[in-house]
Amino acid sequence: MAHILEGQVLVNGTDIWKEYGVFLTEEKKGGRDNLNAILAPSKTKAHVGVDIREENGKKYSSSLTVVNQEREVTLYFAQYAKTRTEWLSQYMAFIQFLKTGERGWLNVRFPSLNLTLRMFYVSSPKLSSLTCLWKDGVQAGRYKVTFKEPKPVI
């Protein structure tokens, strides 16, 4: 499995699969939610127009400058470990890693897309255990993480 998942997502230069046993997953088989979230274009900031009572519509500058709004990016991660202790330790370490970043910032690199997003952690609202953490043995879980990208590249 390592040869498939290794090097797919790097956060601040750290391969999240090698370090934490974490990789991108989808909520449903055949889903494309992660790719859609990564590549979704940001909204643009509103253009300022002048609403003159005696003229139809609004009047805008002859040259409009397009500027992006910040955007939220929600990604689905899965995590795998051979033992309950290892899974819990890596889960807590990974969430802490995302929360702190480098002075709070995360450079999330997707080598296959040749794309890096500069973001920060916002929340992780839902954890779904895929195995029973009360029993010893192989453990897996899936969770969403929402990030904010203040200066979108898309």
Mean pLDDT along residues 139-143? 87
Domains, the chain, with CATH or none? 2-40+69-149 (2.40.30)
Query: Is the pTM higher than 0.75?
Result: yes
Give residue-wise pLDDT tens across range 83-140. Answer: 888 988 999 999 999 999 999 999 999 999 999 999 999 999 877 776 666 667 677 8
State how far the Cα of 86 lies from the Cα of 64, in Å rounded to an integer: 54
114: which DSSP letter? Answer: T
Query: How many angstroms from the chain centroid is the CA of residue 133?
Result: 25
